[in-house]
Amino acid sequence: MTATRKLAGLAIFLLAVFVLVPALIAATGRKDLYYTLTSVALLSIASAGVWLTFYIGRINMGQGAFALMGAYVAAVLVTRYGMSFWWTLPAAGLFCALASLLIGLPILRLRGVYFAMVSLVLTEVTRLLALAVPITEGAKGITNIPLPGAISLFGITLVPDFSTMENPRIAFYYLAVTLMVIAFAAMYRLVNSRIGHICMSLQQNEELASSIGVNIVHLRLIAFAISSFLGGVSGAAFAAVTQSVYPSSFTVTDSVNFMLNCFLGGLGYVFGPMLGTLTLYFGWNLLFQTGEFQLLIYSSVMILLMLVLPNGLLSLGEGRRKG
């Protein structure tokens, strides 16, 4: 793709997300879509992290743990220490990144299904910890989290206090898609810079990568920390949107879904997790009408898609371009 086509694509995307979608929602009056799309945007951020760990050759089913951690960190900081929501976003991200360094050091040595299993267990351990540790308030969770306050710079209000808004859901939508755009822009830059190539070398052959001087332990940790940072930010934003967090806010199912989002969108494409999250989220909700068959149909379609499109939905465009 040429640079102009890329810019045009970006412009259309931004226009769609920031102008067209809100306009459509206003026209159709389906305000409930704001909440759905906010969720999709935030979940896609966590999925982008998982995608990055795939990129270094690790099947990461631990993102639920970091999303939950991020949500609690933000909730505790806001409710107990009165920190502004805006600061809790980076704080939760950093907390999760640091935690992932400690956790990653021993477990990132594992490969394939071993890493996948341990990371899955990590999600469950985090949930159990949230139940047990006093500061997270057990099963009743943390509720009544205040809405985000205003952001002012030099006395000018850039973002008004969410609680003064008529419909904070719209504000949350803008917040979520802004975070999503930032996360994916950073990811795009990362993958298309030399770092991406080094990550790719790790994915394809760790031994060879270390023979050319790549510190594979170091690089794996960096990738895992970035992934967990995104998980934490996503969780923190979720806590603010729902104004609550429970041990069951992010579970093993979510961890698996983050991974499926990446598979579905395409592991070879930076924007794969975004498309995957959107498709899965809406697909699952559409199937709601099928009642008890929801899970069966959903699973069958997933298996079929993986067989027919092993490189994800975005590989459809690739084939057309080649053909």
Residues that bind another protein (CB under 8 A): 189-190, 193-195, 197-198, 200-201, 204-205, 207-208, 210-217, 222
Taking the least distance from each CB to another protein, the nearer of 103 and 223 is: 223
Least separation in angstroms between residue 212's CB and another protein is 4
Taking the least distance from each CB to another protein, the nearer of 143 and 193 is: 193
Contact 73, 95 (CB under 8 A): yes
> How many CA atoms within 13 Å lie on the side-chain side of 90?
3
Residues 6 or more apart from 194 whose CB is under 8 A from it? none
Least separation in angstroms between residue 134's CB and another protein is 38
Taking the least distance from each CB to another protein, the nearer of 133 and 208 is: 208
Taking the least distance from each CB to another protein, the nearer of 57 and 265 is: 57
Instruction: Report which residue type is found at 232.
Output: G
What are the residue ranges of helices labelled H in 243-271?
252-265
Contact 181, 114 (CB under 8 A): no
Taking the least distance from each CB to another protein, the nearer of 80 and 189 is: 189
CA distances from 187 to 57, 236, 267 (A): 16, 19, 13
Least separation in angstroms between residue 115's CB and another protein is 20
Least separation in angstroms between residue 106's CB and another protein is 17
Of 191, 189, 224, nearest in space to 96 by CA: 224
Taking the least distance from each CB to another protein, the nearer of 6 and 31 is: 6
Cα dihedral: 203, 205, 211, 213 (round 10): -10
Least separation in angstroms between residue 195's CB and another protein is 5
DSSP code at position 17: I
Least separation in angstroms between residue 225's CB and another protein is 12
Residues 6 or more apart from 279 whose CB is under 8 A from it? 264, 265, 313
Least separation in angstroms between residue 203's CB and another protein is 9
Taking the least distance from each CB to another protein, the nearer of 37 and 216 is: 216
CA distances from 72 to 46, 91, 148, 237, 262 (A): 15, 11, 16, 11, 25
Instruction: Report which residue type is found at 234.
Output: S
Contact 176, 240 (CB under 8 A): no
Rounded Cα gap, residues 301 and 283, in angstroms: 10
Least separation in angstroms between residue 319's CB and another protein is 17
Taking the least distance from each CB to another protein, the nearer of 118 and 217 is: 217
